[in-house]
Structure 1
Amino acid sequence: MVGGVTAVASVPMVLGAMGFTGAGIAASSIEAKMMSAAAVANGGEVAMGSLVATLQSVGSADLFASSNTLLGAAGSNLSAWLWGSDK
Structure 2
Amino acid sequence: MDPVTLIGAGVGTVGAVVAAPAVLAAAGFTAGGIAAGSIASYLMSTAAVANGGGIAAGSVVATLPAAGAAGIPLAGQAVVGALGAAVGAIASMASNCTS
What TM-score do you get using the length of structure 1 for normalisation? Answer: 0.69
1:36 aligns with 2:63: no
State which of 9, 28, 35 in structure 1 corresponds to 2:18.
9
Paired residues in the alignment total 69
- Is residue 61 of structure 1 aligned with residue 70 of structure 2? yes
Contact conserved, 1:21 with 1:62, CA < 8 A, in 2? no
Q: Structure 1: any 5+ residue segments left out of the alignment? A: 80-87
Which gives a bigger RCO, structure 1 or 2 (Cα 8 Å, sep 6+)?
2
TM normalised by structure 2 equals: 0.61
In the TM superposition, residue 2 of structure 1 has moved relative to its aligned partner by 2.1
- Runs of 4+ with deviation above 2 angstroms: none
Q: Which letter maps to 1:60?
A: A
Seq. identity, %: 54
Looking at structure 2, the residues matched to 60 and 47 of structure 1 have their Cα atoms a distance apart, in angstroms, of 19
- Rg bigger for which structure? 2
| Structure 1 counterpart SS, 2:55 | coil
Which blocks of at least 5 consecutive residues in structure 2 are unaligned?
1-9, 86-99
Task: Give the superposed CA RMSD.
Answer: 2.3
